[in-house]
Amino acid sequence: MANLKITRVRSDIGRPQEQRRTMRALGLRKIGQSVVHKDTPTLRGQILAVRHMVTVEEVN
């Protein structure tokens, strides 16, 4: 499977607690921070829940 680079581009201020926890679970704390995770169905679901606060790109 490929890897996904997830970058936080927006704040979670004023967002529901569940979305804040999802951002923490992804390992994103600061705006502009990026993390690389393996592409799994679980990860895709987390990204879908916070898609308005992150950008995603595929990396090798």
pLDDT at 58: 97
Per-residue pLDDT tens for 2-24?
999 999 999 999 999 999 999 99
Tell me the domains of the chain and their CATH numbers: 3-59 (3.30.1390.20)
Give the C-alpha separation, 26 to 46, whole Å: 8
Cβ atoms < 10 Å from Cβ of 15 = 15
Q: How confident is the model at residue 60 (pLDDT cuts 50, 70, 90)?
A: confident
